[in-house]
Amino acid sequence: AQSVTQLDSQVPVFEEAPVELRCNYSSSVSVYLFWYVQYPNQGLQLLLKYLSGSTLVKGINGFEAEFNKSQTSFHLRKPSVHISDTAEYFCAVSAVPDDKIIFGKGTRLHILP
Amino acid sequence: DTAVSQTPKYLVTQMGNDKSIKCEQNLGHDTMYWYKQDSKKFLKIMFSYNNKELIINETVPNRFSPKSPDKAHLNLHINSLELGDSAVYFCASSPRDRGYEQYFGPGTRLTVT
């Protein structure tokens, strides 16, 4: 069975600074990987996904993530954060093919003025 | 047009009552899900339906019963509500041919008193 670990429960970062949110997964089969964002009092929204192909994936709102198979990681990055990026970020993994997505416990991104 | 909608948005009820949450998606997806998000933001899958057929049924108490009248609707009925059922419940849908990326509804905040 697959699992996903988000190494930081909370990440404070100053506005306009870069940020990296870490995600590691475990699986004995090939996986699909996702990052979702949840703004306060809202549902989850897909930021980006890795299905196959290029290991560098670009998403919405200036975010990108890199799939590293050898390190079983899928870290999320943004070169310059904005106050509007304040949210909870979830990494998720799905075995290929599978109907179920396993979510990490989330990382709260806290933007400091 | 809202892609995945849920009603009601808020639900406050007393222990022992029976309640239902409705979900509808207009994306033409075949697969729909129910998730429970606890107070620590942990997101756990409860059920999944594909074309009205139950395909995922996690270890959820029998008091929870999903019903899918057609592939655009997935409702959740909860009998004999308990304090521990208080949470935010999310409905989601996904297309099977895109790595099962999921589209979430806005959530229903259930408070049991």
Contact B56 A100 (CB under 8 A): yes
Residue of B nearest to A92 (CA): B101
Contact B100 A94 (CB under 8 A): yes
Confirm or reject contact between A74 and chain B (CB < 8 A): no
The pLDDT value given to residue B99? 60
What is d(CA B85, CA B102) in angstroms, rounded to the nearest whole number? 24
* pLDDT beyond 60 at B41: yes
Distance from CA of B35 to the nearest CA of A (A): 11
Inter-CA distances, A64 with A32, A47, A57, A59, B68, Å? 15, 9, 6, 6, 36
The pLDDT value given to residue A99? 64
Higher pLDDT, B29 or A98: B29
DSSP 8-state code for residue A60 = G
The pLDDT value given to residue B100? 72
* pLDDT beyond 90 at B104: yes
Distance from CA of B17 to the nearest CA of A (A): 25
Residue of A nearest to B10 (CA): A41
Higher pLDDT, A83 or B50: A83
Cis ω for the linkage preceding A97 (within 30 of 0): yes
The pLDDT value given to residue B101? 83
Return the H-helix or E-strand segment holding B89. strand B87-94
| Average pLDDT over every residue of A73-95 | 95
Distance from CA of A99 to the nearest CA of B (A): 6
Which residues on chain B place their C-beta less than 8 Å from a C-beta of chain A?
Answer: 4, 31, 40-45, 48, 50, 55-56, 90, 92, 94, 96, 98-107
The pLDDT value given to residue B98? 53
DSSP strand pairing (A107-112 vs A10-14): parallel
Distance from CA of B85 to the nearest CA of A (A): 18
Higher pLDDT, B98 or A26: A26
* pLDDT beyond 90 at B52: no
| Average pLDDT over every residue of A59-75 | 95
| Average pLDDT over every residue of A50-73 | 94
Q: What is the pLDDT of residues B71-102, one digit of tens each?
A: 899 999 999 999 999 999 999 998 875 567 88
Contact B90 A44 (CB under 8 A): yes
Q: Where are the beta strands (DSSP E) in A7-106?
A: 10-14, 19-21, 23-26, 31-38, 44-50, 56-58, 64-68, 73-78, 87-95, 102-103
Task: Assign A65 a pLDDT band (cuts: 50, 70, 90).
Answer: very high
Is residue B31 within 8 Å of B91, Cβ to Cβ?
Answer: no
Give the tokens for residue B42.
């942990």
Task: Assign A50 a pLDDT band (cuts: 50, 70, 90).
Answer: very high
The pLDDT value given to residue A84? 95
* pLDDT beyond 60 at A9: yes
Burial of B10 by CB count in 10 Å (0-12 exposed, 13-18 middle, 19+ buried)?
A: exposed
* pLDDT beyond 60 at B30: yes
What is d(CA A87, CA A37) in angstroms, rounded to the nearest whole number? 7
What is d(CA A24, CA A75) in angstroms, rounded to the nearest whole number? 8
What is d(CA A73, CA A89) in angstroms, rounded to the nearest whole number? 15
Is residue A89 within 8 Å of A21, Cβ to Cβ?
Answer: yes
What is d(CA A66, CA A49) in angstroms, rounded to the nearest whole number? 10
What is d(CA A81, CA B55) in angstroms, rounded to the nearest whole number? 40
